[in-house]
A and B are shown apart, each in its own frame.
Chain A
Amino acid sequence: MQNLVNKLVPATCLTALLLLSLMGPATAPTAMATERVSDEYQVQAAYILNFVRFTTWPTSSFRDEDQDIILGIQGEDFFGATLDAIDGEAIKNRRLQIIRLGKTGNPQGCHLLYISNSEQRYLQQILAAIEGKPTLTISDMDNFAAQGGMIQIKKINDKIKLFINTTALNRAGLKLRANLLNIATLVN
């Protein structure tokens, strides 16, 4: 027993060394180096910015020429600081303004609404709250587009794919540019 205690310290050191040696080659194998990789939510944020660029809202949804475009985040915010990268971004003469609504905030008045996958259960209630309003709805929750959401962001085998519900878009009076529709799978 006491032997074991004595062995403990060297054994720990040895395993620590082994672990450290594992960490050694901290660079990627060169064959893979050309591939671009990134965090899922960073990429989602970049997509959202593109959605803003390629969406046309009815003029009536803005007070004036310079009013901010408002992006609401409903539910748990999994973006963290990555979302701050696009907050305040200029799109022509407007700026993107991000509002974190949490679980209980009112989504009305948002030009874009990102519904966190934490809100799957409440999806119908959230969509009902903005029914008929020109709000572009976005989410990465399962079956979002099929259940009446507009743009579903889905990770399939480590790549991002888009599913767009054109019926929902038309009902809200929103238009997406062709380059966005071209890269997406359309759902009715």
Chain B
Amino acid sequence: MLKPQQAIHILAAAITTFSVLTLSPIAHAKQNKPDHELTELSLEELADITIVTAAKKEQRISQAAAAATVIDREQIRRYGYRTLGEALSRTSGMTYQSDRNYTYLGVRGFSLPGDYNTRILVLVDGHRSNNALYDQANMDEGFPVDIESIERIEIVKGPGSAMWGSNALFAVINIITRKGSDINGGRLLMEVGNRQHRKGYLEYGKTFANGLTLAGAASGLADDGEESIYFPEIDQPAFHNGMAENVDAETARKGYLNLSYKGLGLLFAHSSRDKTVPTAAWDGAFNDPANYTSDKYTILEVNLDKDIDPSHNGRLFARLYHDWFNYYGDYPYYFGGAYITNKDNGNSKQWGGEIRYTVTPSTDFTLTTGLEYVDIYEAIQQNYDAAPNYWLNLDTSNDNNDYNTRAAYLQGEYALSTSLRVLGGVRYDRYSTFGEQLSPRAALLYSPNLSTTFKFLYGEAFRAPNDYERNYADGFAMTGNSDLKPETIRTWEIVGEKNFNRHTRLTTSLFRFELNDLIGQETLANGLLQFQNNSGKTRSDGGEIQIQTSLDNGYRAYASLAYNQAKNLATDTDLDNSASFQAATGISVPIWNGRAYLSPEIRYLGQRTSSATGKTLAVATPINLSLTSGKLLNNIDFSLNIYNLFDQENRASGAGEHYHSDPATSQAIYFDIPQSGRTFRSQLAYHF
């Protein structure tokens, strides 16, 4: 498994960090130096001072009209989460699996293979990150923001379209990037691991005297991936006896920049990620490193956040943005003995604007209203054989597939009494493609006492058919469908929240959702695949419990448990790849007088049926172990992480593209996808 050379690298890193740890005195926490001078100022002088940091208002989760959870920087660090998917899947009802090309987040039993997280809306500082062509939200290294640049992850489960529009069927996940005031200095981080894993990360953040705050980071990552992956289903000489060797590599480069000055803000994020595809999807040339995909995201946004009617808490928020997305894939395959390189390409460009106004006309009434416009002015998909002979299968660059959406929304919140509040909201979307969609939601929040809240929730959400589903027509495998309607969901939920003391918080939830007009592929009479609103009503009933505690002495712990029963009502069958049980638990224990933390974590993913192979996939219980130091010698910290400590075997169901044609029978052989084995990582960070 581990090459001697790699082992030496890891050992060296471990010894260095351990010696730093054991020899250094406990570093003093960097203190927020009080400004003594301020206390000498007169009231009039104080009134003239300009405030520079963002107001540190607490995220009042108990007031959110949904089951909400936050994962902060400290949790990410202590448990060593490497990707967004890894962090999210500790939340009750969330799972993640990889097909070794992309990572797929399952929510509340809905985890269809090949669903590129299109039914979850992922935001970067409130900015939509699901791309315009495939609706895809990357949960892996393809996510536009590096995990190290994330200050906080806010997870709101349930339908969110009443505020956010398309894709917000199961959850809205908002990634809050690190701001100048969160960083206050610089950090240089080096990361190594087995499989030739290496990563460099540099961040800097500062608040300048004139009120400008700046934060930015740049990172690069490379990983050779697993040396060999065995696919027993295709153990034949034609497929290298099922062994995919040295075809699991990944590289990623990312950067972001955040500026804010007197209510004006700028957000820039760029990512580029390449992944070799060990499964050689679409019956490609197996065990060939030429199979790879590349995803590039660029986000550029300017925004304004201004108080304009202070006596009624009137607050105006506006944003204007431009996004670029580029996907590229090489799919080499054999045809009649010839080695053919097929290329798949997608490009989208969009600009958009949003204006939102929040006001509190009276103390017990809050109103939010907004308008949004998005113009997807470029949506191009291409597929062609590049060599040996050029053969064009698809090129939509002259088809004018551009489209736009406009929306208006209104949300109101009214306090009936100190213990009872009602919320209502509705959003109207108008797509130039399919027409109109209305998304309402309503909630009743009841707090019988200080520490308890019950939430009764109802909401509807939708996903608009995307450019890939509407317009991908390569003539030999797939054809488009411009008549697609949006998929819709209705969700009923009861949430109970209790704070046992200020350290411990319990959240429980009972829910039912019903999906209608789900978009899936259908084989036409001419043999071509087409996306249709073909799936009958799907229903899931379930419950979730999550408990989280963070004690003053440094201990932190969490546990989450979820059960659901997801069924297709039309066919009375269980949903593909849907585990009824999911659980996760972790505890972070201070060691060496609080100089470091030891944080074991275990995940549980119950039995599920692979739609690809029809097999029952075994329960997976990967255990991760992290050792994370506090600041040593004032400016150094380190971590050592082992993922899947016991190298447990674990398989995921792949989507329909992961197959190979049996050379003897020409029948497609589908296979399940082995998940990552034991992995080591070590980080060393220098703060300046």
Contact = CB atoms under 8 A, between A and B. Distances in A.
Interface string B199-231: 010101010111110101111111000000000
B310 A161 contact: yes
Interface stretch (A24-32, A63-71, A107-115, A166-174): A24-32
A157 B35 contact: no
Contact of B38 (A32, A42, A124, A143): A42
Given A5-B249, A81-B34, A121-B62, A35 B255 contact: no
Contacts of B39: 45-46, 49, 85-86, 89
28 contacts: A1-B249, A1-B251, A1-B289, A15-B218, A19-B218, A22-B204, A22-B216, A22-B257, A28-B208, A35-B210, A37-B211, A40-B56, A47-B43, A78-B58, A82-B34, A85-B35, A103-B502, A104-B502, A117-B58, A120-B63, A122-B450, A124-B418, A143-B313, A143-B360, A156-B307, A157-B262, A158-B263, A159-B48
Given A8-B222, A8-B253, A159 B447 contact: no
Interface string A1-31: 1001100110110011011101100111100
A85 B450 CA distance: 32
Contacts of B601: none
Interface in A143-162: 143, 146-147, 154-161
A92 interface: no
Given A19-B202, A82-B32, A143-B363, A159 B58 contact: no
B274 interface: yes
B3 interface: no
B38 A43 contact: yes
A45 B255 CA distance: 37
Interface of B: 31-36, 38-39, 41, 43-53, 55-58, 60, 62-63, 186, 200, 202, 204, 206, 208-212, 214, 216-222, 249, 251, 253, 255, 257, 262-263, 274, 276, 289-290, 292, 306-307, 310-311, 313, 360, 363, 418, 447, 450, 499, 501-502
A127 B554 CA distance: 32
Contacts, number: 197
A147 to B, nearest CB: 6
A50 interface: yes
B57 A117 contact: yes
Given A28-B208, A117-B58, A158-B263, A12 B200 contact: yes
Given A46-B46, A183-B43, 6 more contacts: A9-B200, A16-B218, A26-B206, A125-B450, A155-B55, A161-B310
B58 A37 contact: no
A97 interface: no
A17 to B, nearest CB: 9
A55 interface: no
Nearest to B262: A158
B292 to A, nearest CB: 6
B260 to A, nearest CB: 11
B310 A156 contact: yes
Nearest to B310: A156
Best-surrounded residue of A38, A50, A156, A161 (most CB of chain B within 10 A): A38
A117 to B, nearest CB: 5
A18 B555 CA distance: 39
B210 A32 contact: yes
B51 A39 contact: yes
A101 B286 CA distance: 65
Nearest to B499: A103
A131 interface: no
A76 B58 contact: yes
A116 B211 CA distance: 24
Contact of B31 (A15, A18, A81): A81
A159 B502 contact: no
**Majority secondary structure, B binding face:** mixed
B47 A81 contact: no
Given A39-B52, A45-B38, A28 B32 contact: no
B53 A39 contact: yes
B211 A158 contact: yes
Nearest to A30: B210
A144 B499 CA distance: 23
Listed from nearest, the 8 A-B pairs whose CB atoms lie closest are A85-B34, A12-B220, A32-B210, A15-B218, A28-B210, A46-B38, A103-B502, A118-B58
A36 B50 contact: yes
Contact of B292 (A1, A43, A118): A1
Contacts of B202: 16, 19
A29 B47 CA distance: 23
Nearest to B292: A1
Contacts of B214: 22-23
A32 B209 contact: yes
A37 B52 contact: yes
Contacts of A59: none
Contacts of A38: 35, 38, 49-52
B502 A102 contact: yes
A23 B212 CA distance: 12
B56 A41 contact: yes
A104 B501 CA distance: 8
A85 B565 CA distance: 57
Contacts of B212: 28
A144 to B, nearest CB: 10
Contacts of B217: 19
A179 interface: yes
A117 B63 CA distance: 13
A4 B38 contact: no
Contact of B363 (A46, A49, A146): A146
